[in-house]
Chains A and B, each alone.
Chain A
Amino acid sequence: MVPFNIACGKCVFCKQELYGNCHESNSMATAVGGIFGYSNTAGGFQGWQAEYARVPYADVGPTVIPDWMDPDDAVLLTDVVPTGYQAEEMAGIQKGDTVVIFGAGPIGIMAAKSAWLFGAGRVIVIDHLEYRLDFVAKYAQCEAYNFNSIGDPVVFIKAQTDSLGADVCIDAVGCEAKGNLMNTVLGTKLLLQGGSTTALHWAINSVKKGGIVSIVGVYGPTDALVPIGNVVNKGITIRANQAAVKRNLPKLIEHVKNGVLDPKQIITHRVPLEEVADAYHIFSRKLDGCIKTVLIPPSA
């Protein structure tokens, strides 16, 4: 298993176990560590949708797949599962907390599942795709609501929490968030901001005063519209990062072994590597009930 981020193991950030923030893997931007196939901003490395790939620092990042592990679980442990898990870890969940997760994609689904591991008292997922909401409600045993049906999501969450808001809100959507025309136009279409910040906006406004907002949704490098005044006035703590896959992998492998986590259930499409363009299109346009695609190389 090779994590999506490239870590040298020697810089001060890797030694602090911030494996997603390595200082010796991306010459092009100090703000982000090296990531496989994630554009020049993340180091200009070739991606991994291939049969063979170059792995810098191969003595640091990779972990041998245990003999008992299904490869479908293994591939999800390199990004999706650690990211969803770390979203909850950064949220500092205390037992009994109400956790609201914006986004029912693969990351949001794993975040919802992981929230219970930290002792959440209530887990709510918000999205706009019914088939994903149906899935996460069953898979993560949580509440799931469609923001097109509940009116203003912030008012809805305040109503669900006796007017106080959620203890924790997670942004598991990032730059392609739907739900607000202005954000969609400015962020997604005109690229005048680093993506549509609708999910983050709702997270900040839905969380309790003194609460925590955890961000794993990715945004572009330019500025973004965020109600920072509310962050100040409400005394919100914001935590965010790319997942330090290597740090949590031993624990997550144990969770899979013990049946606590069963990641492969979220895979809906297995596509031959030669049809990668179609796989991307199906995933990005959310066609055919797609939640997660995996690519199958010819040799598999």
Chain B
Amino acid sequence: MLTDETKPSDFKKSQQADHTHIKGWGIDADPQNDPTYPIKKRINEEHEDYAWERPQQQPENAEILKSVERPNLTAVFGSASPPEGVNGAIRKLAFRYSESSYGRWLPLVLADRLGAVEGIIDDLKNGYLPNIFAERGWGAEWKYNKKSFILKFAVTAVVAAVAVSVISSKKKNKDD
């Protein structure tokens, strides 16, 4: 199997059976040996699997990506960023893999970076010129950390100038 995709029927109830026929079953059980105390409150429903009375289901009005490690959508979910564009396609691919797989998380990191660029392109397409200086908090950097701001700007300008110079030089050599 190339992906980790699941369907609801893949999720089965845990097999609970009576083991009292095993000699010594439970003789060393000690409820006080509970390293989760007091963070987790022990209740009788712990071993009943996914069987609780579910809250009312939120209607699915947008595409919601779901982990392969659960059979269904949660009763409520966020719809702030449905998958769109190239970053959305990468996210959909990533969600075909287990949460314990790099095949899920590394593409999501890439999708996040692409999403930032696609967001700027969308703004420009809709006639909005984003104020990147303000949105990145560079006003605060200028106000409280002027020396660092100027140094970073200077370094970026020098690196960009060197890069342009190298590329222009290679192009000129190629033309010659």
Contact = CB atoms under 8 A, between A and B. Distances in A.
A19 to B, nearest CB: 11
Interface string A260-296: 0000000000000000011111100101100000000
Interface residues of B, number: 50
A237 B39 CA distance: 14
A241 B39 contact: yes
Nearest to A276: B137
A49 interface: no
B105 A25 contact: no
B41 A45 contact: no
Given A6-B76, A239-B39, A27 B137 contact: no
Contacts of B140: 277-279, 281-282, 285, 287
Contacts of A221: 99, 105
Contact of B74 (A16, A26, A191): A26
Contacts of B114: none
A44 B74 CA distance: 12
Interface string A67-111: 000000000000000000010011000000000000000000000
B76 A34 contact: yes
Contact of B66 (A28, A241, A278, A279): A28
A6 B75 CA distance: 12
Nearest to A287: B144
Interface string B129-146: 000001111111101110
Given A29-B67, A221-B99, A281 B74 contact: no
Contacts of A188: none
Given A57-B76, A191-B109, A27 B41 contact: no
A11 B77 contact: no
B2 interface: no
B43 interface: yes
B46 interface: yes
A280 B55 contact: no
Nearest to B45: A12
Given A27-B66, A285-B145, A10 B137 contact: no
Given A12-B48, A222-B102, A281-B140, A89 B39 contact: yes
Contacts of B65: 27-28, 40
A30 B67 contact: yes
A80 B48 CA distance: 34
B78 interface: yes
**A interface: dominant SS:** loop
Contact of B46 (A9, A16, A277): A16
B17 to A, nearest CB: 21
Contacts of B139: 277-278
Interface in A152-201: 191
A8 interface: yes
A29 to B, nearest CB: 5
Interface string B27-64: 00000000100111111011010101111001000001
A90 B42 CA distance: 16
Given A15-B41, A40-B81, A222-B105, 11 more contacts: A8-B75, A25-B75, A27-B66, A31-B99, A34-B77, A46-B78, A221-B105, A239-B39, A277-B139, A278-B137, A285-B140
25 contacts: A8-B55, A10-B52, A12-B46, A12-B48, A15-B41, A15-B52, A18-B40, A24-B75, A25-B75, A27-B65, A27-B66, A27-B67, A28-B65, A40-B65, A45-B78, A46-B78, A222-B106, A277-B135, A277-B137, A278-B139, A278-B140, A278-B143, A279-B140, A282-B144, A285-B145
Interface of A: 6, 8-12, 15-18, 23-31, 34, 40-41, 43-46, 56-57, 86, 89-90, 191, 220-222, 237, 239, 241, 244, 277-282, 285, 287-288
Q: Which 4 A-B pairs have the closest CB atoms?
A: A281-B137, A44-B78, A45-B78, A278-B140
